[in-house]
Amino acid sequence: MYAIIRQFPYHPAKLADAKQALARAQELHADQPGYTAGLVVDDGQRFTVVNIWHTEPFADAGRAAIGAQVQALFAPLMASPSQVLSAGEVVASDLGDSPS
């Protein structure tokens, strides 16, 4: 698995619009081949997003296919530009081990 971790600082007054943009971005990602899952953490000032792909080539293809659309969704909501915090191979995960 391959993961990309990105932060999106948003304007708190635009939180409702940001949540709509997040939902649409998740739909776009889910339609991409090789997309596995995503996590979004809201700390009240920014979203930290973890997108998980089968492989780096799938992530690269996904970015090429939907990157501009996702950027257009978030640009009007962001307090400052997004930044990639990390990207690389996932070396451990228990995402599939949640209790039933």
What CA–CA distance (Å, rounded) separates 42 from 71?
18
pLDDT at 99 over 70: no
pLDDT at 84 over 90: yes
Please report the pLDDT score of residue 90 as a whole number.
95
Provide the residue ranges of all domains of the chain, joining segments of one domain with +: 2-90
Q: Does the domain made of 2-90 have the CATH classification 3.90.180.10?
A: no
pLDDT per residue over 4-23, tens digit each? Answer: 999 999 888 888 877 888 88
Residue 24 CB neighbours (<10 A): 14
Question: What is the pLDDT averaged over residues 88-96?
Answer: 89
CB contact set of 63 (below 8 Å; sequence gap of 6+)? none
> Do residues 7 and 78 make contact, with C-beta atoms less than 8 angstroms apart?
no
CB contact set of 33 (below 8 Å; sequence gap of 6+)? 58, 61, 62
Question: What is the pLDDT averaged over residues 64-70?
Answer: 94
Please report the pLDDT score of residue 34 as a whole number.
96
What CA–CA distance (Å, rounded) separates 76 from 85?
21
Please report the pLDDT score of residue 74 as a whole number.
87
